[in-house]
Amino acid sequence: MLEALIRKLERFVPLSQDDKRMLERAAAKVQQVGAREDFICEGESSNDLHLVLSGFACRYKILRDGQRQIMAYLLPGDFCDLHVAVLGGMDHSVSTLTPCTIVSIPRYAMMDIARKNPAINRALWWSTLADEGTLREWVVNLGRRPADKRMAHLLCELLVRLETIGLATDGRYELPLKQSELADTLGLSVVHVNRILQQLRRNGLITLKRKVLSIHDVERLKDFAEFSPNYLHIEQKETEAFDSPRNIMRRYEAPPLDDLRVY
């Protein structure tokens, strides 16, 4: 059931069969959530952590004038609120963008797993740091890149992230987002988003048809966007890729889950 999470974590730390079974056993309840529904609201706290099994979700905040800023996309294998295990309450809301399957994991169970299992603890720590790196890149995207490169950069990021969990191949993936949602992500108007998508299409870079995005020349789009996947931290060193969790832990000491911080 947790294939996407396990596949994501194993990009960094090899997990044993016991590790995988431990994660699977922790899954308490699976729920189906409709598209564009809030399932975690700002200010709430919960005894459960929530993991996306399928679909697209997002983190967002609403300004006083009603404008929304989407701050992150949550894809299969992503935790929605891992940091609540430390901070105790949500400082933003989480909503689905498509119909989603969400699994709940008791907070005490995940903390117990992290304390007892160094490999999983290390992988969760890495996942949190990768989320921080992504947030920093989004700040740069919004603050410094022109609108067309901003859009191209986002499309490249989604390609790499979806490839990691097996949901994109040959530069092609499902992009089930409305133009208004892309606008809320990139700080643009819906009209501007439409113009940029048409520009990228005319330039022979992409085709978006029936909610499926095809990137015709991945390297050309990455070059145009000045995109480097380094901030996603998905590439392992070769020496670590085939090492044992015990030896990895001897080289690196991860803090316990209690010490994770997400900003």
Confidence of residue 199 (pLDDT cuts 50, 70, 90): very high
Q: Is the pLDDT of residue 167 over 90?
A: yes
Confidence of residue 11 (pLDDT cuts 50, 70, 90): confident
Confidence of residue 262 (pLDDT cuts 50, 70, 90): very low
* pLDDT, position 168: 97
* pLDDT, position 46: 81
Quick check: 192 and 151 in contact, CB under 8 A? no
Q: What is the mean pLDDT of residues 2-26?
A: 90
* pLDDT, position 158: 98
* pLDDT, position 256: 57
Give phi and psi for 211, each to the nearest 5.
Answer: 65, 20
Alpha-carbon gap, residue 133 to 11, rounded angstroms = 16
110: left (phi over 0), alpha (psi -120 to 50) or beta: alpha
* pLDDT, position 248: 47
Structure tokens, 40: 């975690």
Q: Is the pLDDT of residue 252 over 50?
A: no
Alpha-carbon gap, residue 121 to 131, rounded angstroms = 16
* pLDDT, position 89: 75
Alpha-carbon gap, residue 182 to 204, rounded angstroms = 20
* pLDDT, position 83: 73
- Candidate from 69-83, 96-110, 244-258 with smallest mean pLDDT: 244-258
* pLDDT, position 162: 96
| Half-sphere exposure at residue 149, Cβ-oriented, CA atoms within 13 angstroms | 15
Confidence of residue 240 (pLDDT cuts 50, 70, 90): very low
Confidence of residue 250 (pLDDT cuts 50, 70, 90): low
Which of 39-48, 212-221, 233-242 is modeled with the greatest confidence? 212-221
pTM for the model? 0.87
Alpha-carbon gap, residue 149 to 156, rounded angstroms = 10
Q: Is the pLDDT of residue 201 over 60?
A: yes
* Nearest alpha-carbon partner for 118 in 258, 239, 11, 245: 245
* pLDDT, position 102: 97
- In 193-223, which positions are buried (b, 16+ CB within 10 angstroms) versus exposed (e)? beebbeebeeeebbebeeeebebeebeebbe
Q: What is the mean pLDDT of the chain?
A: 89
Q: Is the pLDDT of residue 180 over 60?
A: yes
